[in-house]
């Protein structure tokens, strides 16, 4: 799987699954725009990619803002002269709460970033792909978007929305050389999870069918496959990466 001559944008590229995806795409030859609201961590990821012989640049984006999402596509075009691949991975979790207790502000924040953010990024990316012969998009959903998860009503609704939007776009743009897929991870040891006390992590791991948490790179490999020509006839799919969590 080679991404030589391809340009990719990766939102949420400063941390966790997005960081692993940006690094994997760059290692396989893509020129990568690492996009995130967090500049310092994004700059670190870019420095690590470039030090390893890859090609990456950082662009600050707030995916919940339409102009900012459009600005990310513009940055890819002005920096690398094209855009072929998009991994929309930026997202935030919600503080656990039951539906009736949840603050409106929590609902709005999760919807703005996790659902509207994916739509706004796709809106800008699809407009470019339509005018330039196609492209491939992977959106980050979650197992929580497929199966009820205690304390996560807004997050689950947003991620179910990401799955629906991905399916919708896959169908609507299938004749335009554009593929759109979603990835639904189970519990992945990204930095926030990795920073939890050892006993909490052990408890989380013990609750997994495999006894282990996933790694960001496990998800990145599936994102890369779905973005690549190896998945040329795969579109509208939601791919679980969850160590059989969904089968419980
Ligand atoms: N870690 C898991 O267990 C897990 C499971 C299922 C799904 N996911 C999803 O995977 C994605 C990445 O999660 P992660 O665990 O790597 O998290 P993370 O916190 O390590 O990375 C998320 C990144 O998104 C960025 N971000 C947040 N709001 C943003 C905004 N408005 N604009 C641009 N960037 C923004 C953050 O700065 C951060 O760098 C998220 O969409 C998350 O919902 C994670």
Question: Residues 13-49: pLDDT tens digits?
Answer: 999 999 999 999 999 999 999 999 999 999 999 999 9
pLDDT tens for 147-183 read 999 999 999 999 999 999 999 999 999 999 999 999 9
Residue of the CA atom closest to atom 42 of ligand 1 = 91
Q: Is the pLDDT of residue 82 over 90?
A: yes
Domain ranges of the chain: 7-236
* CA of residue 15 to ligand 1 center, whole Å: 7
Give the neighbor-by-neighbor strand order of the sheet with 85-88. 55-60, 31-36, 7-11, 85-88, 135-140, 178-185, 238-241
- What per-residue confidence (pLDDT) applies to 107? 98
- Asked whether the predicted pLDDT for residue 195 surpasses 90, the reply is no
Confidence of residue 196 (pLDDT cuts 50, 70, 90): confident
Residues with CB under 6 A from ligand 1: 11-12, 14-18, 36-38, 61-64, 89-92, 113, 117, 140, 142, 185, 187-188, 190-193, 216
Q: pTM above 0.85?
A: yes
Find the 51 Cα to ligand 1 centroid distance in Å.
24
Average pLDDT over residues 69-91: 98
- What 3-state class would DSSP assign to 242? coil
CATH superfamily of 7-236: NAD(P)-binding Rossmann-like Domain (3.40.50.720)
State yes or no: is 173 an active-site residue.
Answer: no
Higher pLDDT, 237 or 197: 237
* pLDDT recorded at residue 1: 83
Mean per-residue pLDDT for 186-210? 92
How far apart are alpha carbons 40 and 108 in whole angstroms? Answer: 26
3-state class (DSSP) for residue 29:
coil
């Amino acid at each position: 799987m080679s991404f030589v001559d391809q340009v990719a944008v990766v939102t949420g590229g400063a941390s966790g699954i997005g960081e692993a995806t940006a690094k994997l795409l760059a290692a396989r030859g893509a020129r990568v725009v690492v996009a995130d609201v967090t500049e310092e961590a994004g700059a670190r990821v870019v420095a690590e990619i470039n030090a390893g012989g890859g090609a990456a640049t950082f662009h600050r984006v707030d995916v919940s803002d339409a102009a900012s999402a459009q600005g990310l596509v513009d940055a890819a075009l002005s920096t690398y002269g094209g855009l072929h691949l998009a991994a929309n991975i930026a997202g935030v979790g919600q503080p656990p709460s039951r539906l009736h207790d949840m603050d409106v502000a929590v609902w709005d924040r999760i919807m703005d970033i996790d659902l509207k953010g994916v739509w706004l990024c796709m809106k800008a990316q699809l407009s470019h792909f339509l005018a330039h012969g196609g492209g491939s998009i992977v959106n980050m959903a979650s197992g929580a978007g497929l199966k009820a998860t205690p304390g996560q009503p807004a997050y689950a609704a947003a991620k179910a929305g990401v799955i629906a939007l991905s399916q919708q776009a896959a169908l609507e743009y299938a004749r335009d050389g554009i593929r759109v897929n979603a990835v639904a991870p189970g519990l992945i040891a990204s930095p926030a999870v990795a920073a939890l006390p050892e006993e909490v992590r052990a408890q989380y791991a013990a609750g997994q069918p495999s006894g282990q948490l996933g790694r960001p790179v496990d998800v990145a490999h599936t994102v890369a496959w779905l973005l690549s020509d190896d998945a040329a006839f795969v579109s509208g799919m939601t791919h679980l990466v969850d160590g059989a969590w969904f089968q419980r």
